[in-house]
């Protein structure tokens, strides 16, 4: 049976009362999948690419984007353009959903500039489908639409636009109806996460909309007599067409096709499986993909990664590696900068591997493949066991080539890493392009801002003052001018800040304060503020901070002690309130008592001095018995076995959202000051974050996890209260989840009772 046709038929149904129209029916689970599957795993079964062009974020039809990305695994490009003084691209990539958001500013709409915009967006691989969000009123978007519609395409080539759709209020011709209301009702939380992950804030729902309608305005697919379903007539895979166009030998094409068939079979089976079985099948699919690569290079007689066939194969391998790591909860990142040493300039490379899963892995062999050399060099051959919930960080210095600043030369670096998972060697690539060699970075500190809601009837408070701080780091030997550009959403105005900085030799960091005036028109959605740092050669670095109105009022009479806040996240949160807080040093713990504080909060870090733990344990117990409150957010075992006067045994497994159960919605934790949407909070925590459940004894379970375990509990000790929270509240607050903010405030205010 043709799997893709089966999927297509299960999604689309003819609508008898409307001629030539189709309804996209709501699918609560993929036809081929009995378990939840992430979008970046589903996309292994399709090469279809969709471009959705819009004028404002409110035009984006998130049910349709969800249908393409999450249910069918299509890559989706969200594209908009407006008028600006210079050509600029703001780019946001959601690896989780395979969505790329590109926002452009252009200073003219000439054919050459629009061609450059399309080339930058699609990189020579045009989408299969282009969708216009409506009738555009903006001149730039109209020009882009006309340019796309008038492009000449060779349908014998691999990549060309097959279909154009436009969203309409009604349609008389061939079109598609999407049951958007059903998506909003059943998939709202997922669509919110998708929109925020793409950097576009919380989507605004039109509660009166039942359907969204799309008119098929141009179709280059073969005439088959089928109804105009979005994906009908499209090749889900480009592989056969690629080898047909680029490999002459029928025998060679047949050999590659056999390996490809095995690959697709393993992927299809993996989507039906779950847990370790899914990972095992993905590993088998990876081996088949490597066989395809080996067969192709053997037939070619050389290793040439520049051909279209090779790029497709390498991208397939990279995608399946990403899917394996996602399912296994292993991630990696690399960072490169230029440093000065006594031996001259060197590249400094920092490699980080995080094992957030439940199985030990081995991290090892690291290879360097610089663009200026044909040789691959092994820079580390050691293997290290990486236990669950641990991180391996390695740093290396590499001699920079002579004349590395010469223009026109490629000095990019490629680092190839290896991880052993279930005995299988998984190869992955860190890439560091030439643009990173400057060693520049900019970081908002903190990178989120909570704005108190404006009083409903207040006439004397129309503006809320706030500020963001950014820190620019640079190589010590760099001297020159850099330009600072801040982009803010509607509802926020920027005060005076230094738009050009003269950086001096010897400086390594510069701080910038950015005053903001926030108005009522900001709305309740999460918004973003973008900082770009550039010089005469172009963009050097950028960062994003998120801003949101949320109820988070802690009084100045609340006094908080903070422990184990190694990453500073607790301080970043508390500094945005009126509460008084102090991060306790080792010296303070040794010399002082805790009775001054209403609550002691233990963060997600570790205690640096193991000899301090017995003393701290005694002080915390005495503090609790005298009526104090301790809130522990960290994973059990982070601070020593006997730090707290209760037994906390981690469950060691991830809890699915269906296993979270609040024993009562009336507990003061959920309504002390703010009403918390507990089901929504728990679903987002389970679906998008790592919650760490534990068996707490003695203790009253407030939110149950799997049998006997909890992610939120309360234990009375003497006159005081110990609260254990295994929910990822701090990480959720950093992403400005409104219910996480409310629950955090309620827990702190509960201590004042």
The phi-psi region of residue 747 (left if phi > 0; otherwise alpha if psi is between -120 and 50; otherwise beta) is alpha
The single residue listed with the structure tokens 């003393």 is 615
pLDDT at 639: 46
H/E segment holding residue 744: helix 738-750
Tens of pLDDT along 260-299?
Answer: 888 888 988 888 888 888 899 999 999 888 888 887 777 6
CA–CA distance, 210 with 539 (Å, rounded to integer): 43
CA–CA distance, 601 with 630 (Å, rounded to integer): 6
What is the model's pTM?
A: 0.58
| Local confidence band at 229 (pLDDT 50, 70, 90 cut-offs) | confident
Tens of pLDDT along 43-55?
Answer: 787 889 999 999 9
pLDDT at 623: 94
| Local confidence band at 340 (pLDDT 50, 70, 90 cut-offs) | low
Please say if the pLDDT value at position 504 is more than 90. Answer: no
> Mapped to the 3 state alphabet, what secondary structure does 86-148 carry?
CCEEEEEEECCCCEEEEEEEECCCCHHHHHHHHHHHHCCCCCCEEEECCCCCCHHHHHHHHHH
Please say if the pLDDT value at position 17 is more than 60. Answer: no
Tens of pLDDT along 644-657?
Answer: 888 888 776 666 65
Tens of pLDDT along 617-675?
Answer: 899 999 999 999 999 986 545 444 567 888 888 776 666 656 788 887 789 999 888 99
pLDDT at 36: 60
Please say if the pLDDT value at position 444 is more than 80. Answer: yes
pLDDT at 405: 43
| Local confidence band at 401 (pLDDT 50, 70, 90 cut-offs) | low
pLDDT at 660: 83
CA–CA distance, 637 with 641 (Å, rounded to integer): 6
β-bridge pairing 175-178 and 21-24: parallel
CA–CA distance, 46 with 236 (Å, rounded to integer): 5
pLDDT at 10: 29
Q: Residue 426: CB partners within 8 Å, gap ≥ 6?
A: 283, 286, 321, 324, 325, 418, 419, 420
| Local confidence band at 600 (pLDDT 50, 70, 90 cut-offs) | very high
pLDDT at 573: 94
Alpha-carbon 653 to chain mean position = 22
pLDDT at 650: 76
H/E segment holding residue 314: helix 308-328
Residue range 579-593: mean pLDDT, rounded: 88
Q: Do the beta carbons of residue 68 and residue 74 sit within 8 Å?
A: yes
**Cα-trace Rg, the chain:** 28
500 or 25: whose pLDDT is higher? 500
pLDDT at 200: 80
Q: Cα separations (Å) of 264 from 6, 10, 258, 281?
A: 15, 20, 10, 11
Tens of pLDDT along 715-730?
Answer: 999 999 999 998 989 9
478 or 590: whose pLDDT is higher? 590
251 or 145: whose pLDDT is higher? 145
CA–CA distance, 641 with 653 (Å, rounded to integer): 19
């Amino acid at each position: 049976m043709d799997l893709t046709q089966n999927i297509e038929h299960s999604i689309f149904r003819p609508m008898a009362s409307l001629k030539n129209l189709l309804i996209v029916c709501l699918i609560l689970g993929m036809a081929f999948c009995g378990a939840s599957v992430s979008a970046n795993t589903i996309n292994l079964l399709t090469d279809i690419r969709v471009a959705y062009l819009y004028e404002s974020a409110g035009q984006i039809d998130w049910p349709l984007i969800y249908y393409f990305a999450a249910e069918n695994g299509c890559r989706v490009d969200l594209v908009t353009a407006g008028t600006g003084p210079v050509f600029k691209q703001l780019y946001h990539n959601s690896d989780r959903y395979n969505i790329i958001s590109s926002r452009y500013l252009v200073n003219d709409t000439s054919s050459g500039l629009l061609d450059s915009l399309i080339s930058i967006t699609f990189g020579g691989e045009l989408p299969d489908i282009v969708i216009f969000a409506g009738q555009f009123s903006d001149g730039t978007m109209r020009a882009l639409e006309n340019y796309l519609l008038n492009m000449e395409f060779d349908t014998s080539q691999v990549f060309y636009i097959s279909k154009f759709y436009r969203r309409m209020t009604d349609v008389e011709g061939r079109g598609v109806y999407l049951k958007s209301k059903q998506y909003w009702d059943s998939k709202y939380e997922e669509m919110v996460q998708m929109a925020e992950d793409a950097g576009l804030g919380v989507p605004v729902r039109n509660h009166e909309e039942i359907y969204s309608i799309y008119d098929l305005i141009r179709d280059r697919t073969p005439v088959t007599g089928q109804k105009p379903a979005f994906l009908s007539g499209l090749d889900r895979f480009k592989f056969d067409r690629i080898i047909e166009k680029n490999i002459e030998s029928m025998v060679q094409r047949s050999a590659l096709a056999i390996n490809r068939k095995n690959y697709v079979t393993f992927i299809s089976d993996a989507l039906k499986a779950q847990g370790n079985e899914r990972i095992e099948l993905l590993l088998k699919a990876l081996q088949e993909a490597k066989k395809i690569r080996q067969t192709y290079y053997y037939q070619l007689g050389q290793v040439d990664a520049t051909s279209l066939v090779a790029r497709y194969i390498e991208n397939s391998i990279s995608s399946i590696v990403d899917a394996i790591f996602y399912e296994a909860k292993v991630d990696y990142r690399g960072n490169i900068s230029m440093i000065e040493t006594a031996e001259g300039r060197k590249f400094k490379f920092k490699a980080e591997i995080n094992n957030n899963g439940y199985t030990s892995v081995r991290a090892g062999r690291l290879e360097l493949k610089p663009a200026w050399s044909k040789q691959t060099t092994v820079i580390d051959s050691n293997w290290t066991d990486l236990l669950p919930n641990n991180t391996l960080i390695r740093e290396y210095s590499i001699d920079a080539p002579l004349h590395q600043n010469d223009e026109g030369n490629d000095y990019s670096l490629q680092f190839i890493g290896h991880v052993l998972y279930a005995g299988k060697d998984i190869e992955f690539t860190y890439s560091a392009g030439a643009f990173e060699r400057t060693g520049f970075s900019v970081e908002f500190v903190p990178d989120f801002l909570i704005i108190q809601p404006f009083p409903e009837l207040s006439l004397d408070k129309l503006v809320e003052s706030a500020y963001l701080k950014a820190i620019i780091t640079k190589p010590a030997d760099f001297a020159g001018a850099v330009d600072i550009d801040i982009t803010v959403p509607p509802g926020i105005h920027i005060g005076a800040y230094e738009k050009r900085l003269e950086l001096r030799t010897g400086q390594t960091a510069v701080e910038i304060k950015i005053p903001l005036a926030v108005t009522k028109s900001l709305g309740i959605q999460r918004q973003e503020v973008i900082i770009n740092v550039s010089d005469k050669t172009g963009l050097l670095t950028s960062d994003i901070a998120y801003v949101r109105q949320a109820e988070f009022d802690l009084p100045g009479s609340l006094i908080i002690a903070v422990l184990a806040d190694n990453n500073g996240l607790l301080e970043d949160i508390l500094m945005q309130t009126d509460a008084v807080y102090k991060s306790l040093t080792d010296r303070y713990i040794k010399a002082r008592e805790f009775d001054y504080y209403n609550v002691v909060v233990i963060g997600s870090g570790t205690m640096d001095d193991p000899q301090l733990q017995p003393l701290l344990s005694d002080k915390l117990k005495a503090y609790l018995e005298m009526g104090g409150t301790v809130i522990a957010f960290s994973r059990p075992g982070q601070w020593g076995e006997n730090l707290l006067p209760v037994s906390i045994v981690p469950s060691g497994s991830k809890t699915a959202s269906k296993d979270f159960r609040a024993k009562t919605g009336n507990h003061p934790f959920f309504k002390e000051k703010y009403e918390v949407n507990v089901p929504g909070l728990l679903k987002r925590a389970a679906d998008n974050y790592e919650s760490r459940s534990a068996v707490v004894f003695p203790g009253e379970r407030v939110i149950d996890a799997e049998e006997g375990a909890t992610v939120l509990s309360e234990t009375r000790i003497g006159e005081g209260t110990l609260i254990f929270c295994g929910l990822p509240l701090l990480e959720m607050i950093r992403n400005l989840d409104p219910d996480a903010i409310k629950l955090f405030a309620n827990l702190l205010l509960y201590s004042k009772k």
